[in-house]
Amino acid sequence: MNNLTSSLFKVLFVFSLALGSLNSYAENSKEFGDYVIHYNAFRSDTISPEVAKQYGLARASNRVLINIAVLKKVLNTTGKPTSSKVTGHASNLTGQLKQLEFKEITEGNAIYYLAETKISDGEFLKFDIKITPEGETRAARLHFNKRFFTY
């Protein structure tokens, strides 16, 4: 149980990487059957250089990271990290599509998915993400919007 708790804290750590940024955020989640999907999008320059290097991510005010974690509901726990197929895109107000290529990151028991894309100052993005937990045939559709500033 300690390993699971430790791993979940690692996942939540990634979500909290943007806490110190001027571009504030709130963690979001969506329930989908036996799963809870946690998601967020934030500027990549809010992560530390060490974390960026570890995961091969570019740090820049004009780049956004999209972070997805899928947890299977388990009674009296925060959930069990679950491998999933994650695909999607973002579109701006002019209809330009930005395909999102998610890569799976595993740290101990923690599993999360990261994608990155470039943004312009003041750009408003509509995210459309499809998530299929391993062993499931039905996919969750995740839709959220966010405006980004490059300062």
Position 119 scores a pLDDT of: 97
Mean pLDDT by 10 residues, the chain (151 residues): 45 42 59 96 96 93 97 95 98 97 94 97 98 97 97 83
Domains identified in the chain, total number: 1
Position 151 scores a pLDDT of: 83
Position 6 scores a pLDDT of: 45
CATH number of the domain residue 132 falls in: 2.60.40.3340
Name the residue range of residue 124's domain. Answer: 2-147
Position 8 scores a pLDDT of: 40
Q: Mind spelling out the 3-state secondary structure of the chain?
A: CHHHHHHHHHHHHHHHCCCCCCCCCCCEEEEECCEEEEEEEEEHHHCCHHHHHHHCCCCCCCEEEEEEEEEECCCCCCCEECCEEEEEEEECCCCCEEEECCEEEEECCEEEEEEEEECCCCCEEEEEEEEEECCCCCCEEEEEEEECCCC
